[in-house]
Amino acid sequence: MKVHQLSETIGAEISGVDLASLSEVEIAEIKEAWLSYKVLVFRDQDISVEQHIAFGSYFGELEVHPFADNLEEHPEVIVLEAGGDSPRQNYNAAKDWHIDVSFRENPPMGSILRGKVIPESGGDTRFSNSSAAYEKLEPDIKARVDELFAVNDYTKMFGPTTRFNSEESHTENIKEYPPVLHPVIRTHPETGGRSIFTNNFFTSHIDGVDSEESEYLLEKLSQAINDPSIQFRVQWKPETFVMWDNRCVHHVATDDFLPSFRRMERVTIAGDRPF
Ligand code: OGA
Ligand code: MN
């Protein structure tokens, strides 16, 4: 197995492995590289849906997304499609910097996304190291946010006004996924690293401060994530797999390929309550 670093602070390409037949040693090496580089890229992995699921299961239990479009026969596989004449057009589920499913009490540990149909040009995904973003905050901002909690609420992104939720399903869903408090800066349970855990999709406001302070701090944190010096981007090909650590990485899609068709499939590894 070879590990090729893709930028100074985030991302590595892993080669010389077949995701369909991994040894225990390779799984341990992948896990170690994942914790170091936060996002891993695997190329040319022509594996089945079942093997994609099996690969994710090596790292933890897979979760079923409460709202996203998924495969009927494999509900743990989310389908993200846009362009062409796809009836789904659910790409807006990724068009701003975000952390996956941070509205859950236990947000996912990570996601493994596969490129299925990739347009001729465009459609890259960008990743930002939210631990490096935290380290680079101005000392004054760092001190102000360090001990705070923020409200994460699915309605900000998947609210009753979107195609993901009708007024009816919202009444039920909000009982199961009520707004939840997570630390603004979380501590990684495996590496101990601190990282920004507020995000543009699901964080409605910071708890315990006035709305002006909340908006100001959320904007500062968002700007810190939006810093190209701690980011890298993945140019997809069919059968590229990308695995990110949702505890210390924000990501965003680019919709510069439309009206061409693009299809992605994702499995999501369950995680712990952030602290
Ligand atoms: C996701 C996601 C981005 C993309 O699958 O969680 O945000 O570029 N995808 O498809
Ligand atoms: Mn996402």
Q: What is the CATH number of the domain that holds 86?
A: 3.60.130.10
pLDDT of 239 strictly over 70: yes
What average pLDDT does the segment 30-54 reach?
Answer: 98
In contact, 224 and 133? CB cutoff 8 Å: yes
DSSP category for residue 254 = -
* 229 in any annotated domain: yes
Minimum-distance ligand to the CA of 242? 1
Looking at every residue in the chain, the average pLDDT score rounds to 94
pLDDT higher than 90, residue 172: no
- For the chain, what is the domain count? 1
Determine, yes or no, domain membership for 193: yes
Residue nearest to atom 7 of ligand 1 (CA): 94
The answer to the question of residue 274 being in a domain is no
Is residue 55 situated within a structural domain? yes
**Nearest CA residue ID for atom 8, ligand 1:** 253
Question: How many whole angstroms separate alpha carbon 81 and alpha carbon 88?
Answer: 6
**Confidence check: pLDDT of 170 > 80:** no
Q: Is the CB of 231 under 6 A from ligand 1?
A: no
**How many A from CA of 169 to the centre of ligand 1?**
24
Is 266 a catalytic site residue?
A: yes
Q: Is the pLDDT of residue 131 over 90?
A: yes
For the cut 80, the answer to whether the pLDDT of residue 163 exceeds it is no
Domain hosting 136: range is: 2-269
Query: Can you give the pLDDT at residue 92?
Result: 65
> 144 CB under 6 A from ligand 1?
no
Whether 182 is catalytic: no
- CA-113 nearest atom, ligand 1: 5
Query: Which run of H or E residues covers position 244?
Result: strand 241-245
Is the confidence at residue 31, as pLDDT, over 80?
A: yes
Distance CA 82, CA 263 (A): 7
Answer whether 249 contacts ligand 1 (Cβ < 6 A): no
- Active-site pick, 52, 262, 263, 266: 266
Mean pLDDT in residue range 214-240? 98
- Give the closest ligand to the alpha carbon of residue 253: 1
Residue 234 lies inside a defined structural domain of this protein: yes
* Residue to probe by mutation, ligand 1, list 264, 265, 267, 269, most atoms within 8 Å of CB: 264
Q: Are 102 and 250 in contact (CB under 8 A)?
A: no
Using alpha carbons, select from 258, 251, 256 the residue that is nearest to residue 96. Answer: 251
160 class by beta-carbon count within 10 Å (0-12 exposed, 13-18 middle, 19+ buried)? middle
Cα separation, 254 vs 266, in Å, equals 17
Regarding the beta carbon of 251 and ligand 1, being less than 6 Å apart is answered yes
Query: In this structure, is residue 152 part of a structural domain?
Result: yes
**Quick check: is 44 catalytic?**
no
Instruction: Give me the mean pLDDT over the 58-73 stretch.
Output: 93
Whether residue 90 has pLDDT greater than 80? no
Q: How remote is the CA of residue 264 from the centroid of ligand 1, in Å?
A: 8
